[in-house]
Amino acid sequence: MHIKQVKDDIYRLSVNIEDKDYLFEGIWPIPHGISINGYLIKGEKNVMIDLTQDIFNFPQEFTNQLGGATLSIEDIDILVVNHMEPDHSGWLREFCKKNSKAVIYCTKKAIPLLQAFADVAADRAIAITDGQILEVGDYELQFFETPNIHWPETMMTYERKRNILFACDAFGSYGSIDENAIFDDQLSSEKHKFFEEEALRYYANIVATFSPFVLKGLTKLGGLDIKVICPSHGIIWRDDPSVIIEHYKRYAEYAKGPAEREVTVVWSSMYGNTKQVLNMVIETIRKRNIPVHVFQVPGDEIGYILASAWKSAGLIFGMPTYEYKMFPPMAHVVEELQVKKVTNKKVFRFGSYGWVGGAQKDFEKKTEKSGWDKLGSYEWQGAPTEEDQAAMQKALEEFCDALIEFTK
Ligand SMILES: Cc1cc2nc3c(=O)[nH]c(=O)nc-3n(C[C@H](O)[C@H](O)[C@H](O)COP(=O)(O)O)c2cc1C
Ligand SMILES: [Fe+2]
Ligand SMILES: [Fe+2]
């Protein structure tokens, strides 16, 4: 990948994680990759905004791309650290060893993390104050604390003369970037659709828990005339940054409910008894013109289930009883959704048991604090009879009525 001009002497440096087996944050599959972007402002003083992760050949790649602007690591005078998560700061340790002069601008909360993660002494850093302006040649950088988008120490950097926001994790997405299509105006409508899906999954996996902070951050940045958004993952928005701002607002608001009039069904079955009602479940919902997304566990990835559940106003869980409790892989999904604060949903649960059951009780207990409106459940012993199918269908019709009312 080559260094790319964003505007004037502002450039993007970027790498894609292309390894299909790589799990982002150690858990999330990224079959379509993810980009990690840093930004360079070249001038009387050279500024780097965010670095890269210290994996694969990424530090070398960033070094080569700096070379494309006829600069080396030692030429950087100011390093802005918006966020200390290692996908943006992994290279910091080596970078600071090679460049002993660069002054670091970051939040006060980031300073102990510089030491802990990268062995960088506090006296190399200047703690910004919220809203502070730093003039660097023809550029005017303004720093805004944006705690918890994504870590407590996170901030964003805004170039005031050109109205460019360096947003780090905010407004980011999964998906590798094609070197010849790095701006929103260079993408086909299919590619826009692709990145929209990748942005939702990125949001659900990485940012979702912090949705109230995203809304606070959006209010805080609301007064800025943002013309370009340069995120640290994903494409640069220069034609219409309001597109990604609106997406993020919508995603953050899903947490307050209602999300979209859609249903995510997550199911599992050891011997097929729970599975026997699945077609009826799907058909009953579809007949009401409600889109249904179906996931089986184990098998389907939690990263995808989360994205779908985040967007759906309705959740349905199907699982049998296993040793007096929920079938374990489903228990994991139910727990993970709550960890990610998937909340304000209409919920239904069904499943087969062998003797006295236990899954329903376990489900009730483990979702006590979920913020889910548990509208109904249906259980049966062994294989479902026709009466079971009919009774459950009736309960699901009522579930759909409530969901339609909820999403009006
Ligand atoms: C390992 C294992 C543990 C089970 N534990 C229970 C249990 O604690 N209570 C119960 O009522 N049934 C239990 N069952 C019975 C299943 O819930 C029952 O066979 C059910 O029909 C399985 O649904 P499925 O065909 O959708 O997997 C257990 C079955 C297995 C294989
Ligand atoms: Fe992050
Ligand atoms: Fe990140």
User: Which pLDDT value is given to residue 400?
Assistant: 98
- Residue 44: Cβ within 10 Å count: 9
Q: pTM, whole model, 2 decimals? A: 0.96
Distance from the alpha carbon of residue 300 to the mean position of ligand 1, in angstroms: 21
- Residue 80: Cβ within 10 Å count: 25
* Cβ neighbourhood burial of 70 (10 Å; 0-12, 13-18, 19+): exposed
How much of the chain exceeds pLDDT 90, in percent? 100
User: Which pLDDT value is given to residue 199?
Assistant: 98
| Ligand nearest to the CA of residue 172, numbered in listed order | 3
Distance from the alpha carbon of residue 275 to the mean position of ligand 1, in angstroms: 13
Spell out the domain ranges in the chain: 4-254, 260-406
User: Which pLDDT value is given to residue 137?
Assistant: 97
Q: How confident is the model at residue 152 (pLDDT cuts 50, 70, 90)?
A: very high
Q: How far apart are CA 408 and CA 406, in angstroms?
A: 6
Evaluate the omega torsion of the peptide bond into residue 258 and state whether it is cis, within 30 degrees of 0: yes
User: Residue with the nearest Cα to atom 4 of ligand 1?
Assistant: 322
Q: How far apart are CA 81 and CA 104, in angstroms?
A: 7
Q: How far apart are CA 114 and CA 79, in angstroms?
A: 12
Ligand 1 mutation pick, 270, 317, 324, max ligand atoms within 8 A of CB: 270
Model confidence over 175-197: pLDDT tens digits? Answer: 999 999 999 999 999 999 999 99
User: Which pLDDT value is given to residue 266?
Assistant: 99
- Give one DSSP letter per residue of 319-384, joined into a string: --EETTEE-HHHHHHHHHHHHTT--S-EEEEEEEESSS--HHHHHHHHTTTS--EEEEEEEEESS-
Q: How confident is the model at residue 303 (pLDDT cuts 50, 70, 90)?
A: very high
Q: Is 260-406 a CATH 3.40.50.360 domain?
A: yes
Q: How confident is the model at residue 284 (pLDDT cuts 50, 70, 90)?
A: very high
Strand 260-267 relative to strand 321-322, pairing: unpaired
User: Which pLDDT value is given to residue 365?
Assistant: 98
Distance from the alpha carbon of residue 194 to the mean position of ligand 3, in angstroms: 19
Query: Domain 4-254 carries which CATH code?
Result: 3.60.15.10
Q: How confident is the model at residue 403 (pLDDT cuts 50, 70, 90)?
A: very high
Model confidence over 225-263: pLDDT tens digits? Answer: 999 999 999 999 999 999 999 999 999 999 999 999 999
User: Which pLDDT value is given to residue 125?
Assistant: 98
- Give one DSSP letter per residue of 222-262, joined into a string: TTS---EEEESSS-BB-S-THHHHHHHHHHHHHTTS--EEE
User: Which pLDDT value is given to residue 389?
Assistant: 98
User: Which pLDDT value is given to residue 90?
Assistant: 98
Q: How far apart are CA 352 and CA 276, in angstroms?
A: 10
Q: How confident is the model at residue 80 (pLDDT cuts 50, 70, 90)?
A: very high
Mean pLDDT throughout 150-161? 98
- Ion ligand 2 neighbours (CB, 5 A) are 85, 150, 169
User: Which pLDDT value is given to residue 39?
Assistant: 99
For 295, the 3-state DSSP assignment is strand
Tokens representing residue 292 in the block: 């249904």
